[in-house]
């Protein structure tokens, strides 16, 4: 009896199909593994990585003088009536309240700080780009960042380094360490 030509055609096709399915599964597993490693490296940095984000080196001025403090407070008070106010500013202040982290999009550590009586600002510190600042209510801190007007007094953004290196970037000094 002669072999059926159709059966010979089916067998190599099935074998090739199984190989292709195995290759696709292998590539999906490899892609998932690479994505997981990337996610881990981005969100759970090691001590070595976080030490590059947390700097104990002294900046040119991490504590603001009284005249610098008064200039910053005047600038913030003047911005109260200007809804398009945006500027870089630095000041010393006290932590008024720790708030819940903002976890949507880029993660931000949030807290309220008061540079002077009658002024309270929200600080939104990007913890995807810089280490979390270990603060408690009543702690004295110094910070430099970008002020943006809002109807509640203002928000301090950019209290971290610029990942693209185009801007000077900001920082927060707490407990003797500078976080950028």
Q: Which residue has the tokens 């603001």?
A: 64
CA angle 24, 37, 30 (to 5 degrees): 10
Contacts of 83 (CB under 8 A, 6+ apart): 149
d(CA 103, CA 127): 10
pTM of the model: 0.65
- Specify whether the CB–CB gap between 114 and 72 falls below 8 A: no
- Specify whether the CB–CB gap between 102 and 157 falls below 8 A: no
Average pLDDT, the chain: 82
Averaged pLDDT, 77-100: 92
d(CA 8, CA 19): 17
Give residue 125's pLDDT.
95
Please report which confidence band the pLDDT of residue 179 belongs to, taking 50, 70 and 90 as the band edges. very high
Averaged pLDDT, 11-22: 75
Averaged pLDDT, 164-178: 89
E strand spans, the chain = 54-55, 86-98, 108-116, 119-126, 140-148, 155-157, 171-174, 177-179
180 or 10, greater pLDDT: 180
**Domain limits, the chain:** 5-44, 66-179
Say yes or no to pLDDT of 102 above 50.
Answer: yes
Helices (H) and strands (E) in the chain, counts: 3, 8
- Region 66-179: CATH code: 2.40.50.200
């Amino acid at each position: 009896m002669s072999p059926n030509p159709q059966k010979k055609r089916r067998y190599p096709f099935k074998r090739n199909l199984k190989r292709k399915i195995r290759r696709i599964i292998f590539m999906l597993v490899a892609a998932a593994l690479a994505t997981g490693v990337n996610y881990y490296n981005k969100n759970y940095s090691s001590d070595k990585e976080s030490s590059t984000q947390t700097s104990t080196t002294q900046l040119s001025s991490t504590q603001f003088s009284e005249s610098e403090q008064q200039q910053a407070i005047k600038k913030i008070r003047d911005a109260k009536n200007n809804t398009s106010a945006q500027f870089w500013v630095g000041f010393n202040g006290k932590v008024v309240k720790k708030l819940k982290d903002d976890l949507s999009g880029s993660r931000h550590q949030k807290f309220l700080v008061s540079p002077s009586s009658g002024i309270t600002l929200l600080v939104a510190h990007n913890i995807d780009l810089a280490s979390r600042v270990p603060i408690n209510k009543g702690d004295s801190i110094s910070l430099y960042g970008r002020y943006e007007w809002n109807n509640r007094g203002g928000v301090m953004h950019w209290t971290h380094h610029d990942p693209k290196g185009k801007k000077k970037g900001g920082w927060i000094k707490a407990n003797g360490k500078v976080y950028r």
